[in-house]
Chains A and B, each alone.
Chain A
């Protein structure tokens, strides 16, 4: 709450000071070139659309712009931000969506964050990342989006408090947070690394979740990809050190992104949606390029298979209580030795969720459960029940500490208050054990 008030005050003061500049137009720094003023021909659109489908997958447009159970591309997906609820908009080519937008207008929305009529987009739309997209990819995406079925679905009203409902304040936000120029390829690095950076930063916008934000909710680029909390859950550290700590290698990371499953476990929570709607549809070459970039390598070489972490010591009483819980509630599916059951439940031995800095993702999965998830090639994992009614905070802390130590090699530092904090985010349904 204190952060929120500070942010509120900061933005209000900063916003007022910058208002003059905003209205003078001094802050509009477009990266869109004049060439896109020329419309694309019908033939060009037809030829570019298939490439646009790949760009849309890599940029993960669908996951946000389609409400679960809603019409494709028609928006409506709600996002909780510290400033209130924002809804993704209709981006199908209907009157309510991007119907009638010119090529140049589409470019400006995507790369400058400004829709036709000068309306500023909220930065929940990752235009700060898309700013780095090439003209060719934006054209392809435009071609793909304008050839989707128009969906006549109105846009949901946003629930933002003053002054965040004032879109002009976003010009000030952009002044602070929108890079003036975009990253050029680094000639000192390989083509693989540069492609990986482009796919990761500009298209995949991984940093939007995995990079911490400052008071204005701008990305702290000095801490890029070191992990952040988003909608109450930890998006882990995915720097080379963070990934290695979770047990990933470049090859297993590419496998994880392409299939949602690897020896490190299954993609869960928001990352499942990322895999489901985006990365599983990407070319293997791009996944490998991303993996190379994440591990900061110019080339990928054969790797030795990952070594499981050595168990960390745990107090005997904690271990005894945790083992009783594990045998009673977990071993039925995850195996007495944490080995899991193929196609049913993931192995816990070496599971990345036991190795992240914060235990919150693991605790949340155990307390709230997880829905059944399907992965490419008919692979699936069954639903995980909710154990909120079975395990109190102390029992959950014991279980978390023991599992993290035994199978994740982490020091047992989880406190009951860490569990309580996660429990506070559960719905009444979870708490009742239904």
Chain B
């Protein structure tokens, strides 16, 4: 292991755009997103893998999407992977306006967040959950549990847990195909 960071080319897809550039070895994914790509949405909370404010979605063909903590994961670990940060959820319209993703819209309508620091992580978690439910729907009785399990690792210092939970649960129940009859 060398103490001096040596640059190594990193190529991946971020928010549907291919990216390729030299990045010093040992740089975390969060630093890379913030300092090299200017994407500051994945927040630095604890920097120790505890709060999950820094998570992004990793989407691999043929696999269910996953949530990965960028603070404790090296940038080069994402070589060749497809990543969605919080900046990649809303859709940009032709007139330049944005249409929020269903999860983002549900959080706004449910007044789920307050300061918003934890929100990128919650958006990631809820989106991953919904994509997974699309692949493998659960019975109605299991919805409370799967929502709790998905959001549980995320810390919100403003304690918006109930509203986050309610927003995600209601969205899951209202979205066709996520719940078995």
Contacts and interface: CB of A to CB of B under 8 A. Distances in A.
Contacts of A328: 73-74, 76-77
A241 interface: no
Contacts of B131: none
A153 B133 CA distance: 40
A324 B77 CA distance: 8
Interface in B32-66: 48-50, 66
A226 B158 CA distance: 52
A265 B41 CA distance: 35
A353 B147 CA distance: 36
Given A323-B1, A341-B48, A383-B50, A332 B74 contact: yes
A70 interface: no
Nearest to A341: B48
B26 A327 contact: yes
A329 B73 contact: yes
A385 B57 CA distance: 17
Contacts, number: 47
Nearest to B66: A433
A344 B48 contact: yes
A17 interface: no
Size class of the B contact interface (CB-based, 8 Å): 10 to 19
A426 interface: no
Nearest to B75: A328
Nearest to A327: B74
Interface string A242-264: 00000000000000000000000
Contacts of B77: 327-329
A332 B72 contact: yes
A324 B48 contact: no
B163 to A, nearest CB: 24
Contacts of B66: 389, 433
B25 interface: yes
B48 A331 contact: no
B13 interface: no
Contact of A331 (B50, B69, B74, B149): B74
B26 A331 contact: yes
Interface string A308-333: 00000000000000011011110111
Contacts of A323: 1
Nearest to A433: B66
Contacts of A385: 49, 69
Interface string A392-422: 0000000000000010000000000000000
Interface residues of A, number: 22
Contact of A382 (B3, B28, B50): B50
Contacts of A324: 76
A333 B25 contact: no
B129 to A, nearest CB: 11
A337 interface: yes
Contacts of B76: 324, 327-328
Contacts of B143: none
Given A327-B74, A337-B3, A389-B66, A332 B25 contact: no
Nearest to A432: B64
A434 interface: yes
B71 interface: yes
B81 to A, nearest CB: 11
Interface of A: 323-324, 326-329, 331-333, 336-338, 341, 344-345, 382-383, 385, 389, 406, 433-434
Given A327-B25, A389-B66, 18 more contacts: A327-B1, A327-B26, A327-B74, A328-B73, A328-B77, A331-B26, A332-B28, A332-B74, A333-B48, A336-B1, A336-B26, A338-B1, A382-B48, A382-B49, A382-B50, A383-B49, A383-B50, A406-B1
12 contacts: A324-B76, A327-B25, A328-B77, A329-B77, A332-B28, A332-B72, A336-B26, A341-B48, A382-B50, A385-B49, A406-B1, A434-B149
9 pairs of A and B residues whose beta carbons are closest in the complex: A328-B77, A332-B72, A328-B74, A327-B74, A344-B48, A333-B72, A336-B26, A382-B48, A382-B50
Interface of B: 1, 3, 25-26, 28, 48-50, 66, 69, 71-74, 76-77, 149
